[in-house]
Amino acid sequence: MTTTRINPRRHLILGVSFVGIAIVGTGLGFVATAHAGTLPMDGDTVAMTISNDTDQPMTLAAQYTNVGDFIAAPQQILAPHTSEIVTASNAGYDRMAAVMSYQLPDHTVVVFEANDFSDGANTTGTVTAGPSADHYQIATSLDTGFPNLNASYTLQSRMLGQNVVTPAWLTAPAWPSGH
């Protein structure tokens, strides 16, 4: 009878590999769950992933749905470089809007809007306003549409002066050549 002895180092490597696979699998499960969370299946739903990719905290000023209720309401303060997922649902309607407005410390107002309409889902109404509105931009995307809308929003600081065309007279030499 032959006895095979397994190297303890091999056990450690196999154990670490299985733990790594379990952690990655769990992480993927959280990513999939975080996208929309648990939403009712008997009506229209809206899931909004809002990312604050600025150095400023955003303070909630107002929240609104035209029908239905928030399941996961927006946070009172969304810290810099963080995200939140806001969800809302309704039953018995085929037109739902969810809107949140936040204020930045410089008094800029940021409005995030999701419209879950049977004739076309959209993020129309998403805007920055106020004294420094031109310092920010919002990137939006729709991952899914009616009746279970998933929208993503990223607020970013806009670099002032980018895409500026410099007039030729500013780049021309001060003196004609030869002088």
| Domain of 25, in residue numbers | 10-38
Count of domains in the chain? 2
The sign one gets for the Cα dihedral 19, 21, 38, 156 is positive
> Quick one: 93 and 63 in the same domain?
yes
Structural domain contains residue 173: no
Q: Do 91 and 52 reside in the same domain of the chain?
A: yes
Residues 100 and 111 in one domain: yes
- pLDDT tens, per residue, the chain with 179 residues: 554 455 555 444 444 444 444 444 444 443 433 444 567 777 899 999 999 999 999 999 999 999 989 999 999 999 999 999 999 999 888 889 999 999 999 999 999 999 999 899 999 999 999 999 999 999 999 999 999 999 999 999 997 555 444 444 444 444 455 54
| CA atoms of 123 and 169, how far apart (whole Å) | 42
In terms of domains, do 66 and 103 share one?
yes
Same domain, 110 and 65: yes
174 falls within a domain: no
The answer as to whether 133 is a domain residue is: yes
Same domain, residue pair 24 and 79: no
Q: How far apart are CA 46 and CA 115, in angstroms?
A: 8
Position 7 scores a pLDDT of: 55
- Tell me if 176 is assigned to some domain: no
**Tokens of residue 25, six digits:** 């699998």
- Residue written as token pair 């490597």: 13
